[in-house]
Amino acid sequence: MIVAERKPMADIKDMLAGRKNVLIVGCSECVTVCQAGGEKEVAVMAAALRLMRETDGDPIAVETETVTRQCDPEYLEPLQKKVAACDCILSMGCGVGVQFLAEKFTATWVVPALNTRFAGGTVEAGVWEERCGLCGECVLHLTGGICPVIRCSKSLLNGPCGGSQGGKCEVGKGEIKCAWQLIYDRLKGLGRLDLLLQPMPPKDWSRAKDGGPRRTAREDAQL
């Protein structure tokens, strides 16, 4: 899932300076799971904005709505009426959601309430870790299901660097596990250390973000 976190309230206050009618839009998908932009967080944001602006002697009208997915245009249609009555949309979705709102409502200013961090998962209650670099050419079948692109601090594809000591990476003051140590241990446990003897070919980085905006379509999609 996409993991995000709320921007500092001071930054949000600056982005909304001069705005009198704001629509806060949450999302029921990833940002709800990471407790950054779901219905509960939208309600908290609305209350905080009202209180902050009243304290400043500059009251603001706030409406709220949480859609199923901000990254899917069909779920933005019901917002038409509320958007027409506001002079700014504060998106509590990921960066994709912010852009879809801006594309849908071209006459309305849209700003982000969140910083989109990474694609990851839950490792324990309230803690999320990045696990995928969205590189477009998955090699997990060669590395025991452990991603070297994102879990190795240097994104090395053919083994550890000289900074790996005692199973820990030299980056992060000993708090980060060496990805290649994890890969070795995993492959050893599965009896597949032979995979480490296969040089990994150069990666096609054009399939990652460095190749420009990516697009995927089903074979039966009508474009």
Q: Which pLDDT score, from 0 to 100, does residue 223 have?
A: 53
CATH number for the domain spanning 16: value is 3.40.50.2300
pLDDT at residue 221, as a whole number: 66
CA distance 38 to 24: 11
Q: Are residues 158 and 69 in the same domain?
A: no
Say if 53 falls within a structural domain.
yes
Considering the domain architecture, whether residues 111 and 28 belong to the same structural domain is answered as yes
pLDDT digits (tens, 9 = 90+) for 21-68: 999 999 999 999 999 999 999 999 999 999 999 999 999 999 999 999
Number of domain units in the chain: 2
| Phi-psi map region of 167: left, alpha, beta (phi>0 left; psi -120 to 50 alpha) | left
Chain centroid to CA 100: how far? 15
CA distance 178 to 148: 10
pLDDT the model gives residue 215: 79
Same domain for 151 and 108, yes or no, is no
| Res 212: pLDDT | 78
Are residues 92 and 185 part of one domain? no
| 110 and 162 belong to one structural domain | no
pLDDT digits (tens, 9 = 90+) for 136-155: 888 999 999 999 999 999 99
Structural domain range at position 174: 135-202
Q: Is residue 198 part of a domain?
A: yes
Using a pLDDT cut of 70, give the percent of the chain over it.
Answer: 99
102 and 181 inside one domain: no
Last residue of a domain, one of 118, 153, 185: 118
